């Protein structure tokens, strides 16, 4: 069991890794022996490489931009020689009443939360097929399983991501590629604190049987499990890390 959750010799590509959940995943993977290609939108992503050293290749990549994705994947291959794990973590929320939701907000959410993971899965999936296997983990949300008010585009994007996960698992299982999703409850990232602060957040906690929000490390630990040998027989699943919220 000491080696089940080790990632020695593995190369992981993690998006949205400059902060929050993505950073926690990149740090945990590196500490478990993986080499990590960390994608981030801003130049803040390079602080992660400064922190973790040679185990990390930091690349400034906008996951809504196909050319930048392809260039980032190419640089990852040139630097590490392979990609064994893909974690699609980058995501945004634009919250509003359905009748007031703008086209621009809808398109932005879909481009980052759904189109970006599709482009990355397609690009990295081709590499994994050639290698004879790999692991893909899509960071979804409880909002992809149950409806949340003022989350129209966000809920739709995450529900679609969950189903994309199933289709990819079905098609790529024959190539020894597992594809799973993780659906967290509210996570105490900068975005989580902004959206779920004050009375709104306290009311939400009361709906969660564990009466707390998740930490980035909670989600990183679940991601590590799905990336590890402990999850060799799991594919096409959406793992809810929601403190029991969706039991109701």
Known catalytic residues are 154
Alpha helices in the chain (DSSP H): 20-31, 46-52, 66-80, 103-110, 116-131, 152-172, 190-195, 198-206, 216-227
Show the CA angle centred on residue 214, arms to residues 212 and 215, nearest 5°: 125
- Measured CA to CA, the distance from residue 191 to residue 143 in angstroms comes to 15
CB 115 within 8 A of CB 64: yes
Distance (Å, whole) CA 154 – CA 190: 17
CA distance 56 to 38: 7
Answer for the pair 234, 182: CB distance below 8 angstroms, yes or no. Answer: no
Distance CA 164, CA 118 (A): 8
């Amino acid at each position: 069991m000491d080696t089940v959750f080790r990632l020695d010799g593995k190369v992981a590509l993690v998006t949205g890794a400059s902060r929050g959940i993505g950073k926690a995943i990149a740090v945990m993977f590196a500490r478990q022996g993986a080499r990590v290609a960390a994608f981030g939108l801003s130049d803040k992503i390079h602080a992660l490489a400064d922190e973790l050293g040679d185990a990390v290749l930091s690349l400034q990549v906008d996951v809504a931009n196909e050319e930048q994705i392809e260039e980032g994947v190419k640089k990852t291959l040139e630097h590490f020689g392979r990609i064994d794990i893909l974690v699609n973590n980058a995501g945004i929320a634009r919250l509003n009443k359905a009748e007031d939701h703008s086209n621009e907000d809808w398109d932005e959410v879909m481009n980052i939360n759904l189109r970006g993971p599709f482009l990355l899965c397609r690009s990295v999936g081709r590499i994994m097929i050639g290698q004879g296997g790999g692991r893909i983990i899509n960071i979804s949300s409880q909002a992809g399983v149950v409806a949340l008010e003022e989350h129209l585009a966000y809920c739709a994007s995450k529900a679609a991501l969950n189903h994309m996960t199933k289709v990819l698992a079905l098609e790529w299982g024959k190539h020894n590629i597992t594809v799973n999703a993780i659906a967290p409850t509210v996570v105490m990232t900068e975005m989580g604190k902004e959206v779920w602060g004050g009375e709104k957040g306290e009311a939400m906690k009361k709906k969660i049987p564990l009466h707390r929000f998740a930490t980035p490390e909670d989600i990183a630990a679940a991601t590590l499990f799905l990336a590890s040998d402990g999850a060799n027989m799991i594919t096409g699943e959406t793992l809810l890390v929601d403190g029991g919220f969706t039991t109701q």
